[in-house]
Homo-oligomer: A and B are copies of this chain.
């Protein structure tokens, strides 16, 4: 699955950028900027004229799920299609012990039956503006990294605030080419979102962790939301009509969506840093969390319901990272990177940026565990802790000038932050204790009990006792209590006896210190060096390489194309008959057990209906739910995964075996019509 999770984003967090697999014009590589699309490449490789109206329509139809995924408008009355696993966060939050929407699915036959989602924010891109010059101008005045970092943060916040006040649109400055370019993205922001349809998770995520990142694949991984504005369904600027015939083998297809992050332009030193430090550490963390969540989930059906979202997310990240790590161990991949780097260095005859980047990695290796555990939340995996930290920091940051704050507390981000902070989504107390016990224990394992912060935190107590005490002693499950504390500001926080607030206060000085260190000693030097590397690249290759992914809207294209594996060609699509065959072959055991709705319908639906298909288009985590569009701009599928050879695409694009996987439009039509009786919804989205 390809949704961007918080963890996943961290795993891949890229501080800067550099070089990569130069395959200019030779492949379907590219997650292209909408304001710098590959006109010539498409014309040359696929004889396709990428017109502005086509692009405008794709942009206006494309939706970002702020929780970490993509989607598209599919009707003039605000219907949005995405993956089931992107919608799963909302489904889980709408579920109760007696209403398990993940397990049982959902259908609103009428608009009044739709379920309002507690904290879902969707974004639609309105415009892009280059603000590189203004930012570099502000930074130029400073002479040291700390000052430059502060100046950069400050001017970015200013630009965003000005834009928000002027346009009323969500305004984010995005760092491209790891520091080579800065663009201001403006979005229309939607928070009145209702659930319209979701299938059962057993068919949406058929094959579970076993089939995840594999192909052939059989998943009905889609669901439907409807977006409202002041109670009225939104009329989008454009939408895509479902085209059930889907693509033919060999067809050119497009994917628009929000790939989370890639590391193709990173230097060799940075990739080695990932291989030698970041990936092994993060993998050990993910395995620990997966074990803890899996054990809790096994204790009862309700525990399984509570844990399922995070468990899937962690397992997904673990599998993705494992594949990446295998890639980083591949001498061929690394020597390719080294050659490209050498070529670039020779062309610009200045090795200083690369030396600075290597030094930044070395610096980071010294405190990457502290950084991940104390500041990035590895050590405190708990919803209540996240809420407590946000309240603690919000109270402090709000007193500062906008430009001096930690970036996520800037005024222009306030509404999104509050949507999340005041979410009425349920807090599962036993699960909170399990997560916190597991991660506090890992904190002790990783830093050692003699580490001053660990010693202060545990104070000789066992992690399970600490976790129980802070969870039981917190009232932050109550949204009113959160509002009360925020309204009371620093004084209210300082005098709070809430045990989770106390914990967040206890660790905050050390967490802030290590963040400051990371920003000033690693991220800012990397950004500056990478800006130089990017200039060198532009000089040598022009704009023939798209920037690394940044969870902003990108256009990818590719061909529906089979590939060879173990001496056999793997076909471009799977079918509904194949889904039933796999259920039978696995004896209906988990995670291959089809729901009753499908088993009942088996004899009256067409087994030949295509279920999933593949193409060479360039996608990555975050592209989950991305529309797959044909030349005519019709919706022919919904992207939901890539296969195992595609896992190294973080570092290098390849079309040798690597494919993304999409739910076929025909399967969507069949499911809505013949399985779920959602005839009105189907009529609304049909071509």
Of A149-157, A230-238, A294-302, A672-680, the stretch lying at the interface with chain B is: A294-302
Minimum C-beta distance from A518 to chain B (A): 22
Within 8 A of B (CB), among A261-307: 275-276, 279-280, 283-284, 287-288, 290-291, 294-295, 298-301
**Other A-B pairs beyond A301-B586, A301-B587, 13, CB < 8 Å:** A208-B298, A210-B298, A210-B299, A276-B450, A284-B284, A284-B287, A291-B291, A291-B318, A294-B294, A326-B464, A327-B462, A329-B444, A329-B462
Binary contact track A192-210/B, C-beta < 8 Å → 1, others 0: 0000000000000000111
Closest to A438 in B: B322
> SS class of chain A's interface: helix, strand, loop or mixed?
helix
A590 cross-chain contacts in B, Cβ below 8 A: 298, 590
Q: How far is the CA of A430 from the CA of B673 in the complex (A)?
A: 41
> Is the beta-carbon distance between A284 and B288 smaller than 8 angstroms?
yes
> Is the beta-carbon distance between B275 and A449 smaller than 8 angstroms?
yes
> Is the beta-carbon distance between B332 and A460 smaller than 8 angstroms?
yes
Cβ of A463 under 8 Å from chain B:
yes
Within 8 A of B (CB), among A316-343: 318, 322, 325-327, 329-332
Cβ of A565 under 8 Å from chain B:
no
Cβ of A445 under 8 Å from chain B:
yes
Q: How far is the CA of A450 from the CA of B275 in the complex (A)?
A: 11
Minimum C-beta distance from A276 to chain B (A): 5
A586 cross-chain contacts in B, Cβ below 8 A: 300-301
Cβ of A497 under 8 Å from chain B:
no
Binary contact track A157-186/B, C-beta < 8 Å → 1, others 0: 000000000000000000000000000000
A462 cross-chain contacts in B, Cβ below 8 A: 326-327, 329-330
Cβ of A448 under 8 Å from chain B:
yes
> Is the beta-carbon distance between B322 and A441 smaller than 8 angstroms?
yes
Closest to A303 in B: B210
Q: How far is the CA of A461 from the CA of B332 in the complex (A)?
A: 8
Closest to A297 in B: B210
> Is the beta-carbon distance between A209 and B287 smaller than 8 angstroms?
no
> Is the beta-carbon distance between B295 and A287 smaller than 8 angstroms?
no
Binary contact track A448-469/B, C-beta < 8 Å → 1, others 0: 1110000000111111100000
> Is the beta-carbon distance between A283 and B445 smaller than 8 angstroms?
yes
Cβ of A109 under 8 Å from chain B:
no
> Is the beta-carbon distance between A441 and B326 smaller than 8 angstroms?
yes
Q: How far is the CA of A589 from the CA of B103 in the complex (A)?
A: 15
Q: How far is the CA of A449 from the CA of B271 in the complex (A)?
A: 13
Cβ-neighbour of A280 out of B279, B295, B446 (below 8 A): B446
Q: How far is the CA of A464 from the CA of B330 in the complex (A)?
A: 11
Cβ of A489 under 8 Å from chain B:
no
Q: How far is the CA of A280 from the CA of B288 in the complex (A)?
A: 11
Within 8 A of B (CB), among A571-621: 586-587, 589-591
A301 cross-chain contacts in B, Cβ below 8 A: 586-587, 589
> Is the beta-carbon distance between A291 and B280 smaller than 8 angstroms?
no
Q: How far is the CA of A292 from the CA of B3 in the complex (A)?
A: 22
Minimum C-beta distance from A281 to chain B (A): 9
> Is the beta-carbon distance between B298 and A463 smaller than 8 angstroms?
no
Minimum C-beta distance from A316 to chain B (A): 12
> Is the beta-carbon distance between B589 and A325 smaller than 8 angstroms?
no
Q: How far is the CA of A295 from the CA of B314 in the complex (A)?
A: 13
A294 cross-chain contacts in B, Cβ below 8 A: 294
Q: How far is the CA of A295 from the CA of B315 in the complex (A)?
A: 10
A209 cross-chain contacts in B, Cβ below 8 A: 295, 298
A330 cross-chain contacts in B, Cβ below 8 A: 460-462
> Is the beta-carbon distance between B463 and A326 smaller than 8 angstroms?
yes
A300 cross-chain contacts in B, Cβ below 8 A: 586
Binary contact track A233-269/B, C-beta < 8 Å → 1, others 0: 0000000000000000000000000000000000000
